[in-house]
Amino acid sequence: MKKIKSLRKDIDLIHTQIFKLVLKRIEKTQEIKKIKNSHNLKFIDTKREFELIHMFDQDKKIKSNPELKKMIQKIQKNILTENKKYLKKTANAKI
């Protein structure tokens, strides 16, 4: 049971790191949105989104594990979707 507790602590740390990275990602996309708005460019870039969704497809672990590949692609899509929703709802909110 001690091992499980230790592993859960590791998972908590990973989730903390993910949280911090999500906040950084939002800040960067807010900057991009401001730049695109000032140049009258569309915020959504489907080519870029496709690249992000598939950016890990060539990783060895993913190539050998179709279920892992699907999961990672879903996570990538979800990050993009939720980030866009957040930016639409909050406009220029500071993180």
Q: What angle do CA 51, 57, 58 make, to 5 degrees?
A: 115
pLDDT at 94: 65
pLDDT tens digit sequence for 14-58: 999 999 999 999 999 999 999 999 999 998 999 999 999 999 999
Predicted structure pTM score: 0.86
Cα-based distances in Å from 30 to 14, 41, 69, 95: 24, 14, 28, 10
pLDDT at 95: 63
pLDDT tens digit sequence for 61-95: 999 999 999 999 999 999 999 999 999 888 766 66
pLDDT at 43: 87
